[in-house]
Structure 1
Amino acid sequence: MKKVLGFVFLITVSALNACKESDPPLPDNLVQFESTEQGMDAATQSSTIKLKLSRAVDAATPITVQVTPTGITYGTQFTTTPAITNNTLSLTVPAGSSETSFTITKANSIFLSGTETIDFAITSAGNPVLVGTTKSLKVKFTSIISTGTTLTLDGGTGGSSAVNSVFVDLSNNAATSIRRDSWDLGFYSGADFRVILNNTTGAAAIALAKNDLAQVTAADTAGLSLSVGNFDPAGLKWVDDVSGDLTKTVIASISATDADNKVYIINRGTSGSTPAKGWVKVRILRNGTTGYTLQYAGIKETTFKTVSITKDDAYNFKYISFTTGTVVDVEPAKARWDIEWSGGIYKTSDGTNDIPYYFADQVYINVLGGVTAAEILTSTVSYDAYADSNIATTTFKNDKYVIGSNWRVASQTSTGVRTDRFYVVKDAAGNVYKIKFISFASQDGGERGKPKFEFKLVKKVS
């Protein structure tokens, strides 16, 4: 009898534990576009379109997208990667990932009227993924004025040391990712002849009292650290003005008199977990009134390489990489981005002095492109309530760090998006958007290196 009762008891306990420990079913895993509309103006050669899932998949999952061009011909005027077959894109979400993407590329030297479009529609997804509500996307070959959407930026690998910078064009629902270590110097396209260091990799430089690269050797680096990661106040002298003031770059304004242009030693910094790069010596001259001539070499090298950089008024800067020895694409045209998410050297205080400090998850505004912004506390007006009528009393600033790192907290005791504030951005055309950050770390439901935010159009330029 005791054995029977014991057996019944075990069955009962097991049943109760099974009910107690069973997890509720997960919500549907949906795949959808980030927005319903995206623009590609004449200055945009290619654009990457992302499809987002609610969460990562356990196994590689196929996604099928129907493609319908209007007024533009595939293979002649545009192509895609991967290629289209029978008006269909076959995509795959890799195991462990929560997104997939494809790229549209326009053919060179084609004329488009701006009325051309391509409609993309998600038609199927492999089990257990389902097609979400934002299943259609219209790409217009002209600028659009977005009414707003939700974007998750692709900072790449590295978490708090994410390897990418991401440029966002709010009006076109577009985000462009670029590796932070893909460039070393930026050459200003404006009236002055200014050259910037790569602040996002912690690059630093110092001028020498020499104007001949051949006279500079490893001996010139003796006792020189050029490190901005050791909390030394002196480090601020080795980096460009952290507020973005172009009159205070480490490399002086390039003189029209060649003899006045000195040699600089540059510590190229690092990116994420990659090793620090080798130091270089550089000398920069003017190339007439339209560009620059860069001379550079490794510290121990006795001969130098030369690169010509031509100013382009459509861009804030043109960039070069010492790794490739060429001009490289970094930021989009200045009229085609509003904010940049990245990391970079700013400053903090050690209690006595300002010291250089690398802040992750910074958001810069495109001040050189004419963008302004304001921080709004929700104690004044809520994000949802902020409207056209509030713009007149909003103080917009042309400060690169209006958003900066103020939008989030990242400390040993607290990490997450600040919910007591949001931001209002006025683009160069005058369109006004409000931005609310949603997540950026596991503590607030996000992923470090892939910040998520919502934006909405408040006022459209008529």
Structure 2
Amino acid sequence: MMKYLKILSLLSMMAATQSCLSADEDPVAVRPMTGSEVNVAVGGATEPNQVWIDLSDHDKPGINKRTDWDLGFYSGDDFRVIMNGSLAMTVIKVPDATDLSKIKEVNVESLKEIAQVGTFDSGNLKYIDNPNGNFLTQTSGIDVIKENDADNSIYLVNMGREIPAVGSIAPGSVALSGDERGWKKVQIVRAPNGYKIRYADLNADNGNIKEYIITKDPEYNFTFFNLKTGSPVKIQPKKKNWDLVFTTFTNEVFMGPGNSAGSYFYADFIATNTLNGVGAYQVNVTGSLDEAYNAFKLKDVDASKFVFNDHRAIGDKWRTTTGTAANPVPFVYSDRFFVLKDAEGFYFKLRFNTMKNSKTGERGFTNFEFEPL
């Protein structure tokens, strides 16, 4: 009898110990044991895909078409909305507008000419999200969504460009911008634990205005919404389940040091998950890249160099799209690699090998390798 009581007592202790762990708790992060080489499914010279990669689980990337979403609704405490920069979207306030149904295309023709990417005017930065990714404090794009419905502006939304049909694209070149995706008129207000979006085509009357309630999901940074299908879509993986996204990107371009030319559309871009603590920095190499990369260990990490406040820490710095006088074709730089710290505090080194198909020269075939430190 005593033996059975001891077994029962032991089982009770085990159950009590397990009950202290919530079913909602994240599993304990386990450091990856080895690195790997990754072929990123960007999709070729039209770069149709956004690819979200977690270095701790790189075999299961998140992949979506760039046209799968238009707006992202923040799930945190603030009420902020971002645009799909992979399509060169823009927004502009419709002055003095209070009634969505009364806005017609004829009233906004002059605004359509202004709210464009690539006009080489520094003033057009106000029509896009902050390129550094700090959307919570940005004064561009869509304003913070206010408590009082009447305080929220009506916006004219430039839906950007379609992904072009695959045609004859010269080796080393890209074709990112197809037909115009059109325009929408949009107003966003708060709803219980989320947002309400009201939107329509420009000439729609009151009977054709659509509405949708978007609820915040704390497991994700954003709830994404497709204005053409009128439905939410899953785009990013869960908050801490990605480190890098390979994408096209609306960035700020410069004519020279300190001379901004405003917004411009980039190919072959990499953004980091700064919203959840991912940081990165570049290591410059003067000699052999192979030797420097292989020799770099955890003790060599310089914590002061990590960039946590700009998701362009890698950005376009890993490649040149114009080439050089000596090598006038796009190529991956061979004089640098990168160090990344993920949301769990693990360190990695990364080097980029290709941005083109080695046989055909077609762009949109990125390959990189990484190792945990």
Tell me if TM exceeds 0.5.
Answer: yes
Counterpart for residue 372 of structure 1: 279
Partner residue of 2:122 out of 219, 233, 258: 233
Match of 2:266 among 359, 380, 385: 359
Question: What CA distance in whole angstroms lies between the structure 2 residues aligned with 1:142 and 1:324?
Answer: 38
More helix by share: 2
Q: Which residue of 1 aligns with 2:348?
A: 433
Asked whether 1:262 is paired with 2:185, we answer no
The normalised TM-score by structure 1 is 0.65
1:218-257 CA-to-partner distances (Å, cap 9, x unmatched) read: 1222222222133233321211111112121411000000
Number of residue pairs the alignment of both structures matches:
319
Partner of 2:231: 326
Determine the C-alpha separation between the residues in 2 that align with 1:305 and 1:198: 20
Structure 1 unmatched ranges of 5 or more = 1-110, 115-140
Q: Which residue in 1 is equivalent to 2:294? A: 384
Q: Partners in 1 of 2:122 and 2:299 — Cα distance?
A: 45
Q: Map residues 336-347 of structure 1 onto 2, 5 A cutoff.
A: 336-347=241-252
1:42-441 paired onto structure 2 within 5 Å = 145-146=31-32, 147-157=34-44, 159=45, 161-173=46-58, 174-208=60-94, 209-224=96-111, 225=113, 226-246=115-135, 247-248=137-138, 249-273=140-164, 274-288=178-192, 290-302=193-205, 303-351=208-256, 352-379=259-286, 382-392=292-302, 395-398=305-308, 399-411=310-322, 413-441=328-356
Question: Which secondary structure does the structure 1 equivalent of 2:107 belong to?
Answer: helix
Distance 1:230 1:331 in 2: 30
Cα distance in structure 1, aligned partners of 2:265 and 2:333: 20
Deviation at 1:205, TM superposition (A): 0.7
Q: Distance in 2 between matches of 1:237 and 1:386?
A: 41
Higher relative contact order, chain-length normalized (CA < 8 Å, sep 6+): 2
Contact 2:357 2:365 in 1 (8 A): no
**Contact conserved, 1:211 with 1:283, CA < 8 A, in 2?**
no
| Offset from partner CA, 1:44-102 (integer Å, 9 cap, x none) | xxxxxxxxxxxxxxxxxxxxxxxxxxxxxxxxxxxxxxxxxxxxxxxxxxxxxxxxxxx
Q: TM-score, normalised by structure 2?
A: 0.80
Q: Secondary structure at the match of 1:259?
A: helix
CA contact (8 A) 1:183 1:328 kept: yes
Where does structure 1 differ by over 4 angstroms across 4 or more consecutive aligned residues? 141-144, 442-447
Higher strand share: 1
C-alpha spacing 1:445/1:384, structure 2 compared with 1 (3 Å): farther
Distance 1:446 1:427, change over 3 A: farther
CA distance in 1, matches of 2:31, 2:345: 11
CA distance in 2, matches of 1:402, 1:446: 27
The whole-number CA distance in structure 2 between the counterparts of 1:368 and 1:264 is 26
- How far has the Cα of 1:291 moved from its partner? 0.4
Deviations 1:101-159 (A, max 9, x none): xxxxxxxxxx9xx9xxxxxxxxxxxxxxxxxxxxxxxxxx99754321111011124x1
Measured in 2, the distance between the counterparts of 1:382 and 1:453 equals: 16
Alpha carbon RMSD of aligned pairs, Å? Answer: 2.4
Distance in structure 1 (CA, Å) of the matches to 2:202 and 2:263 = 25
| Equivalent residues of 2:69, 2:226 under 8 A apart | yes
